Amino acid sequence: MSKKILLITGVIFLSSCATTNIQELGDKFLDLINPSDAPAEVTDLSEQVLVLSGEAGGFTEEELEALSNDELIEIAKEKGLEDRLVLDADGNLLNRDEIIKALVESESLLDSATLESATQELKSLSDDALIEIAEAKGLEDKIVLDEDGELQNREELIEALVEGAAAAVEAAKELENSGIPSTLYFAFDDTEIDEAATRVIIEHANFMQNHPNVRLRLEGHADERGTREYNLALGENRALSVKEVLGLYNLEDRVVVVSYGEERPVAIEHNEEAWEKNRRVEFVYY
Amino acid sequence: MKFLKALILSSVLLSFSANALLEVSIIKSKEELFPVVIAPFRVVGDVQQGAEIANIIRDNLNRSGQFNALNSNEVVIDKIDFNFWQEHKKDALIFGKIEKISSDVFNVYIYIYDVFTEKSLYETKIEVHNSGIRRIAHYLSDKIYYVLLGQKGSFDTRLSYVTVSENNKGKRTYRLQISDSDGYNPQTVVKSAHPILSPTWSSDQNKLAYVSFKNKRSEVFVIYPFLKIKPTKLPKFDGIASSPSWHPDGENIALTISKKGNKDIYLYNLKTEKLKRLTTNIAIDTEANFSPNGKSIAFTSNRTGQVQIYIKNLETGKISRATFNGTYNAKPVFSPNGKELAIIHRVGKDYRLALLNIATRDLTVMTQNKSDESPYFSPNGGMIIFATNRDNKGILSIISIHNNQIVELTQKDSVVREPSWSNYSN
């Protein structure tokens, strides 16, 4: 069950920060084979994957411009923008430009349809799973248990989780519009935060103070040079130096740090330009 | 009559369908190699797979960097033409026979002759269970290696490695693979959408420790690829857990755990589930590797501001610096005799495999590559397997310490990395 839980929390924040889509296979172990059996090829897990930012949302302004009015009306309805449509008596679209603008804007937002599907997904989970998600999302205080440890406010908790996800998405959108960089870069084998980086971190600190419900995940990365395990440690130290600055604002309880070392490069070339892009800490709100 | 119980166990393994096979190619072959002839084995009865034995042995010996093993046109039956082989400057002649004795069991005979003294060096008969052909060929390769060189071979062993493939949507799949020492019988033991790092065999060959990101952070797991035992997740605190290294006892594992941001090396006992801290420095301490006697660990640390290698004597608690040459030395692994470390050493902008003599501090750079990683000794110490790049693609490379001959292991459409070599089979 815990795999599914991580999956949902993962998808919700991923949709909010426009990171690449995820497909969870999860590791599968050969824990139930006969002792005389050898390991066989492991098949994909049939885990359900909740894709909130899927292909349906992937229209650019150019692509929308190329569509007919009828197609635009269709998409606007799908995206829950029906009330924004202005049609004449024959059903012809009168505010084409406005709709295109609205669609582009809505692209990275969690729309009502996806909120609904997230709700459905949460409803299908057990109480224990819901409790685990709520704890991971910092909603411990919303959990009401009886003497036997049974969940008493299932409906409420689901609502709070969906609201929390929507709030994180809104906040991320706001952050994006504010122009505050969500990635900081580092020198080779270095974790130092310079003055410019400090200013960016302070802006994030202000943002977090203005949005008391969002939580931050700092993801540390390294370039491919040097050994993988050392780089894993280095990536963590980079994220920790950012966290240290946020700690000055008493925000450390809302910040978690993870390191991917050199395993998640954004640039795959083997040159200085790519390495510079890969030595980084990413701010991911959830 | 010898009856190898292990061969029957292994035969089950061999009957499984193969995954993507590593392509094995010898890159650089030096001339001064031991010239031997391995004649095709004589097959008596319906044992078609028996014809493979000689080919497997020949490939094994050629890959080792010690031999120049050639085929002969004819099967040797009872008369050996020593004059012919002497004229062709072959030092040893190896031939054999495989004979079916029941539907599941056959006998394998092997003979090794010194061409110049015309004397038998070794001969044996082994009863083998059906389909254990590759295993018996590796076992015999080790015998031949020992008879001719007086040293153990590393053929009847296994590799582990990680492959990474990407589909047309850019989605990566990571596989933790195990295979025979020649890359045959590849099997996937873990498949994940998340990175897999640092797999390593326990000395009893029953367990693999590795790092997985499946829970969105690095954690160390121990799996039992051949047994019905659930995987174990090793302890972590509030940060990374990574870099496992087995103690030779197969029960204790050194690993790196971050606690309040400080990355140190800890020792975890799988039986008692107790954790003991081995390093305490505020800097990064990671990439621990146990010495073969289990009495010390080598590890990577940036405690002086530079990335260098240190050795901690676990009996006295004393930590001493091992590398003094260059500004970046990392990922140490002990040679099986405990006298040397294979390391990754920076030369200019490149990261190359190097060999460090611990006592004399002599450092020998082994390659001209740009980005070598993850070295691991063959159990006889004759070769080092490591990951490197060829044409911007991750491959495995095996270098023979004896003469720098290189064998490359590649996989079509996949990156291959993070190799480790198992100990001998039980």
Among A39, A233, A264, the residue with its CB nearest the CB of B188 is A39
* CB within 8 Å: B213 and A263: yes
Give me the sign of the Cα torsion angle B232, B238, B241, B246.
negative
* CB within 8 Å: B226 and A44: no
ipTM of the complex: 0.90
Of residues A59 and B55, which shows the higher confidence score?
B55
Predicted confidence (pLDDT) per residue in B399-422, tens digit: 999 889 999 999 988 999 999 999
- Burial tier of A19 (Cβ tally within 10 Å: 0-12, 13-18, 19+): middle
Q: Looking at this protein, which amino acid is placed at residue A91?
A: G
Cα-atom radius of gyration of chain A, to the nearest Å?
A: 22
Beta carbons of A136 and A9 less than 8 angstroms apart: yes
Residue found by looking up tokens 């519009």 in the block = A177
What integer pLDDT is reported at residue B19 of this predicted model? Answer: 61
Of A101-115, A272-286, B204-218, the least confident: A101-115
* Local structure of B246: helix, strand or coil: strand
What integer pLDDT is reported at residue B211 of this predicted model? Answer: 97
Cα-atom radius of gyration of chain B, to the nearest Å?
A: 23
Predicted confidence (pLDDT) per residue in A201-219, tens digit: 999 999 999 988 889 999 9
What integer pLDDT is reported at residue A58 of this predicted model? Answer: 52
**DSSP per residue over B111-159, as a string?**
EEEETTTTEEEEEEEEEEETT-HHHHHHHHHHHHHHHHHSS--S-S-EE
**DSSP per residue over B48-115, as a string?**
GGGGHHHHHHHHHHHHTTSEEEE--SS---S---HHHHHHTT--EEEEEEEEE-SSSEEEEEEEEEET
Provide the β-strand partners of residue B300. Answer: B286, B309
Distance CA A57, CA A49 (A): 17
Q: Is the pLDDT of residue A3 over 50?
A: no
Task: Enter the pTM of the model.
Answer: 0.79
Residues of A in contact with B178 (CB under 8 A): 39
Q: Is the pLDDT of residue A45 over 50?
A: no
Q: Is the pLDDT of residue A65 over 90?
A: no
In the predicted model, residues of chain B with pLDDT beneath 70 are 1-19, 28-31, 78, 130-131, 425-426
Residue B245 CA, chain-centre distance (Å), reads 15
What integer pLDDT is reported at residue A251 of this predicted model? Answer: 95
What integer pLDDT is reported at residue A12 of this predicted model? Answer: 31
Give the pLDDT mean for A145-164: 86
Band (pLDDT 50/70/90 cuts) for residue A29 is very low
Residues of B in contact with A20 (CB under 8 A): 170
Band (pLDDT 50/70/90 cuts) for residue A106 is low
Residues of B in contact with A30 (CB under 8 A): 189, 223, 225
What integer pLDDT is reported at residue B31 of this predicted model? Answer: 61
Which helix H or strand E contains A74, and what residues bound it? helix A69-78
Distance from CA of B175 to the nearest CA of A (A): 9
Distance from CA of B243 to the nearest CA of A (A): 6
What integer pLDDT is reported at residue A20 of this predicted model? Answer: 26
Q: Please tell me if residue B214 touches chain A, with a CB cutoff of 8 Å.
A: yes
Residue B214: closest C-alpha in chain A? A26
Q: Is the pLDDT of residue A111 over 80?
A: no
Nearest to A22 by CA among B241, B169, B212, B164: B169
Give the pLDDT mean for A149-171: 84
What integer pLDDT is reported at residue B119 of this predicted model? Answer: 93
Q: Is the pLDDT of residue A30 over 50?
A: no
Chain mean pLDDT for chain A: 75
Residue B206 CA, chain-centre distance (Å), reads 15
Mode of pairing for the β-strands spanning B252-259 and B241-246: antiparallel
* Contact residues for B305 (Cβ-Cβ < 8 A; gap 6+): none
What integer pLDDT is reported at residue A51 of this predicted model? Answer: 27
Beta carbons of B160 and B419 less than 8 angstroms apart: yes
DSSP B29: -
Of residues A190 and A37, which shows the higher confidence score?
A190
Q: Which of A30, A237, A255 is most worth mutating to test chain B (most B CB atoms within 10 A of its CB)?
A: A30
Provide the β-strand partners of residue B321. Answer: B310
Distance from CA of B213 to the nearest CA of A (A): 8
- Work out the end-to-end distance of chain A between its first and last CA atoms, rounded to an integer number of angstroms: 21
Distance CA B403, CA B309 (A): 26
Residue A22 CA, chain-centre distance (Å), reads 10
**Token pair of A67 as six digits:** 């569509």
What integer pLDDT is reported at residue B420 of this predicted model? Answer: 97
Provide the β-strand partners of residue B242. Answer: B256
* Contact residues for B348 (Cβ-Cβ < 8 A; gap 6+): none
Band (pLDDT 50/70/90 cuts) for residue A60 is low
Chain A residues 39-98 with a CB less than 8 Å from chain B: 39-42, 44
Distance from CA of A66 to the nearest CA of B (A): 24
What integer pLDDT is reported at residue B423 of this predicted model? Answer: 87
What integer pLDDT is reported at residue A23 of this predicted model? Answer: 29
Distance CA B403, CA B385 (A): 15
* CB within 8 Å: A27 and B287: no
Distance CA B77, CA B313 (A): 57
Q: Is the pLDDT of residue A124 over 90?
A: no
CA distances A48 to A45, B64, B154, B173, B204, Å, are 9, 48, 44, 17, 38
What integer pLDDT is reported at residue A134 of this predicted model? Answer: 82
Distance CA A11, CA A21 (A): 8
Provide the β-strand partners of residue B256. Answer: B242, B265
Q: CB-side exposure of B18: number of CA atoms within 13 Å?
A: 10
CA distances B413 to B2, B43, B344, B393, Å, are 43, 38, 26, 10
Give the pLDDT mean for A29-39: 30
